[in-house]
Amino acid sequence: MTPHGQMLLEVRDLVVSYPARGSAGKPLAAVRSVSLNIENGSIFGLVGESGSGKSSLAHAIIQLTPYRSGQVLFRGQDLASLKKPQLGAARRQMQFVFQDSLAALSPRRSIEQTLLEPLNHFRVGAPASRAKKAAAALETVELDADMLHRYPQELSGGQRQRVALARALVTEPELIIADEPLSSLDAPVQARIVDLMLKLRAELGIAFLFVSHDLSTVRRLADKVGVMYLGKIVESGKTESLFQQPAHPYTKSLLAAVPVADPAHPAPSVLTGEPPSPLTPPAGCVFHMRCPEKMERCPSIEPIEVAVGKQYGAPENERELKTAGHRVRCHLWDDTK
Amino acid sequence: MNKPVLSVRQLSVTHRLSGRVVNVLDQVSFDLHQGEILALVGQSGSGKTKTAESILGLLPPDRWDISAQAIELNGSDLAALPESGLRKIRGRSISMIFQEPLTALDPVFTVGNQLCSVFTRHRGQRRREAQTSAQAALGRVGFPDPGHVMRRYPHQLSGGMRQRVMIAMAMACRPSILIADEPTTALDVTTQAQVLDQLVQLGQKDGVSLLLITHDLGIVAQYCDRALVMLDGKIVEQASVEELFANPRHVYTKALLNSAAGAKPK
C-alpha cells in the first residue's frame, strides 16, 4: 500500500444511480461500487464502451453528480464532508476538461476572458497579475499569444481543446479529469494533444484521470488502466501488464476488436450482442451474457476481485513486479473453485 | 480486373462564398470495381466527403461548381443527368450512410415507418409488402427480433443498432454501390467491429461495391482492398492495401503510416 501522503485521489465503493422512469421506481445504477486510486503525477486511464458509466464516475468524483454511497477522498479529505468554501478550494486543485470543447467554452467570451474566469473566481494572485497568468497558460499549451483576443468559434477543434486544457491549468491544479477530450479530433491532432498532456505531467507534475473509449491512446498515455463494464471496473492494473496480459475476457475482446494498421495482422474479432441495460443488470458476472469463456457459475455467482499473476509461469519475484496491482473480477482467476 | 462499376474522371469542385472561390476538389479520378472495398483516406478537410457528395449530386449548384470529364455508373454518365434522374439513382443504384446515424434518421418516425417508406418509394411496394421487406432487411443486418426494432424510435436504439438500421435502409434497394462516410467513427471498438463486419459481408454476399471514407488506417489495413489517399482535394496516391502499407510512395502517405505506427502497440 502506498502511504496516504502520496495518494492524490481515492475513490471507495462509489455508487451512482439515477431515478429512472418506466422501471417501477427502480433507479438506474450507472456506477456500481467502484474503487480506484490515483497517485501524485500519475495518469489513470478509464476505458469502456458508451453506457459503461465512465462519465458518471468522472462527474461524481468532481461532485457534479451526487452519489448514493461511497467516498471520494482528495488528499485524504472526504469531499462530501466539505463545506462550500472548502469544496471550492479542493475544486481549484481538480479541474475538468469536457469532450465537446465548443459546448464547454462560452461563445461570447474571448479566449482571454475564458482563461481569466477561473482566476477571478478562485481569486488567484493579485488581479493585475492574472492577465499574465492567462497568457502563460496559453503558452504552456503551445498556442500563440494573439489567440487571447479571439473567440472559440474562430478556432479549430484542436486549438479549442488546447484552450480548454489551458483553462484547466490556470488554477495550477494537481489533478485534471478529462472526459473523452480527444474523441472529436483528427488522429494527428489527437497525437499532439496526447504529447501535450504527457508534457504537462512531466513538467508540472499534474495527474490525470483520462476517460476514453480509445484503447491505443490510453496505452500511450496512462500509467494505470481501469476497464469498466456496466458500472463496474472488471479489470485494472499497470498499463503494460493489462495490455500485454489482459486477464478478463471483456478486456481481451476489447483489444481484439481494434483494427491494426497492418494488412498482415489477423482480422479484428467480433464480440456479439450489446451490453445489457443498466436498468436490468444481469445476476452473476456482468459480462456473462457476451462472454466467450462463460462457465457454469458465471450467470449466478458474482466474481470477487482477485489478483492476477498466480497463473503466470515466471518466477515469484519477477511476477510480482510485473503484475503488481493487476486485479480482475472473473471466475477464471478465482482460486476458490 | 473486371470492369469498374463506378468510374470518375477529372472531377473538380469549387466553392463560391461571398465572392471568394475555393478549390475543393482538383481533378479527382478513380475507379470502383464490383465487390471491392475501396478506402478513401485523408484528414478532415481533405475533400473525402465532398468527393462522395459531388458524385451523388448532393451539393447545391448555387454555391458549388462541379466539373468532370465523366462520372460513369455502370456505363451511364451521371454528370449529364438532370436532378430528377439523379434522385432515381440515389438510393437505388448508389446509397450512402453517414457518420452520425442519429442525424440521418428522422426522430419522429419509427424505424419501421422510415424503412418501409424506402420500399414504397423506390421499389413501388404496397404497405403490407413493404412491412415484410423491411423485416427481412433488418434480419439481414443481424437483428434477432426485427419486429421489435421496427416499433422503436431512433433515440431508443444504441449507436451501433442505429448504424445497422442505416445499413439496412441503404441496402433496401439493392444498390450496386454503397458509400459509407466514417460509418464507425462515433462508435465503440466492439460495435465498430460488428458494423464493419456487416459491411464486408455485403460485398461478399451481394457483390456490393463499397467506397469507405475513413481516417483510420487500421480499418484500411484490415477491411479494404484498395485505398485512395487524399490531400488538399487531390488524390495523391492510389494502390492496393498491401502495396500501400509495404511500399508507400507519397510523402504524405509515409507520414500517415508513421503516425499510425506510433499509435500502434509497441
Residues A208 and A276 in one domain: no
CA end-to-end span of chain A: 28
Query: CA-CA distance, B80 to A318, in Å (whole number)?
Result: 71
Instruction: Give the tens place of pLDDT for each residue, B174-192.
Output: 899 999 999 988 788 888 9
pLDDT band at residue B265 under the 50/70/90 scheme = very low
Instruction: Give the tens place of pLDDT for each residue, A86-131.
Output: 998 899 999 999 988 888 999 999 999 999 999 999 999 899 999 9
Q: Strand (E) positions, B34-148?
A: 37-41, 64-67, 70-73, 76-77, 94-97
pLDDT band at residue A320 under the 50/70/90 scheme = low
Task: Name the strand (E) or helix (H) holding B129.
Answer: helix B127-140
Residues A283 and A207 in one domain: no
Residues A68 and A105 in one domain: yes
Give a yes or no: residue A189 inside a domain. Answer: yes
Is ipTM strictly over 0.85? no
Testing the interface with B: which of A274, A277, A289 to mutate, by most B Cβ within 10 A? A274
pLDDT at position A1: 41
| Sheet with A305-307, edge to edge strand ranges | A94-97, A175-179, A207-212, A43-48, A224-229, A232-238, A327-329, A305-307
Residue A22 contacts B, CB cutoff 8 Å: no
Query: CA-CA distance, A329 to A169, in Å (whole number)?
Result: 36
The reply to whether residue A186 touches residue B263, judged by beta carbons under 8 angstroms, is no
Asked if the model's pLDDT at residue B99 lies above 90, the reply is: no
Distance of residue B126 Cα from the nearest chain A Cα, in angstroms: 33
pLDDT at position A205: 94
Rounded to the nearest integer, the mean pLDDT of chain B is 89
Residues A208 and A313 in one domain: no
pLDDT band at residue B45 under the 50/70/90 scheme = confident
Instruction: Give the tens place of pLDDT for each residue, A236-293.
Output: 999 999 999 999 999 999 999 999 989 999 889 888 877 888 888 899 999 999 999 9
β-strands B64-67, A207-212: how paired?
A: unpaired
- Residue A302 lies in domain: 251-259+266-337
Residues A70 and A146 in one domain: yes
CB of B13 closer than 8 Å to CB of B59:
yes
Burial class (CB in 10 A: 0-12, 13-18, 19+), A141: buried
Q: Is the dihedral of CA B138, B118, B63, B13 positive or negative?
A: positive
Q: In angstroms, what is the C-alpha Rg of chain A?
A: 21
Residues A119 and A150 in one domain: yes
Q: Quick one: angle between helices A249-256 and B189-206, nearest 10?
A: 50
CB atoms within 10 A of CB A83: 7
List alpha helices for chain A, DSSP H: 54-61, 84-93, 101-104, 111-121, 127-140, 157-169, 187-204, 215-221, 239-244, 249-256, 316-323
Testing the interface with B: which of A21, A46, A47, A50 to mutate, by most B Cβ within 10 A? A50
Residues A255 and A225 in one domain: no
- Grid cell in block for residue A43: 495518469
Query: Residues 6 or more apart from A218 whose CB is under 8 A from it?
Result: A45, A47, A210, A212, A225, A239
pLDDT at position A157: 87
Residues A166 and A222 in one domain: yes
Annotated domain spans of chain B: 4-100+177-263
CATH number of domain containing A209: 3.40.50.300
Rounded to the nearest integer, the mean pLDDT of chain A is 89
Asked if the model's pLDDT at residue A51 lies above 80, the reply is: yes
- Grid cell in block for residue B144: 434477432
Q: One-letter amino acid identity for B70?
A: A
Lowest mean pLDDT among A200-214, B117-131, B183-197: B183-197
Give a yes or no: residue A286 inside a domain. Answer: yes
- Grid cell in block for residue A10: 481515492
Determine the distance from the C-alpha atom of residue A292 to the mean position of all C-alpha atoms in its chain, rounded to a whole number. Answer: 27
Contacts of B265 in chain A (CB under 8 A): 216, 219, 243
Residues A315 and A170 in one domain: no
pLDDT band at residue B1 under the 50/70/90 scheme = low
pLDDT band at residue B264 under the 50/70/90 scheme = very low
The DSSP line for B233-255 is TEEEEEEEHHHHHHS--SHHHHH
Give a yes or no: residue A242 inside a domain. Answer: no
Q: B4-100+177-263, what's its fold?
A: Rossmann fold (3.40.50)
Instruction: Give the tens place of pLDDT for each residue, B56-82.
Output: 888 888 889 999 999 999 888 887 888
**Residues B188-206: what's their mean pLDDT?**
87
Residue A292: phi, psi to the nearest 5? -75, -15
pLDDT at position B92: 80
Residues A125 and A28 in one domain: yes
**Residues A32-36: what's their mean pLDDT?**
95
Give a yes or no: residue A246 inside a domain. Answer: no
Residues A185 and A84 in one domain: yes
pTM: 0.85
Instruction: Give the tens place of pLDDT for each residue, B236-245.
Output: 999 999 999 9
Q: What percent of chain A has pLDDT over 90?
A: 70
Q: Quick one: angle between helices A157-169 and A111-121, nearest 10?
A: 20
pLDDT at position A5: 47
Give a yes or no: residue A128 inside a domain. Answer: yes
**Residues A181-208: what's their mean pLDDT?**
89
| Sheet with A69-74, edge to edge strand ranges | A28-39, A7-18, A69-74, A77-78
The reply to whether residue B221 touches residue A262, judged by beta carbons under 8 angstroms, is yes
Q: Which of B191, B150, B185, B189 is nearest to B169 (CA)?
A: B150
Contacts of A270 in chain B (CB under 8 A): 190, 193-194, 197
Number of domains composing chain A: 2
Asked if the model's pLDDT at residue A2 lies above 50, the reply is: no
Residues A219 and A298 in one domain: no
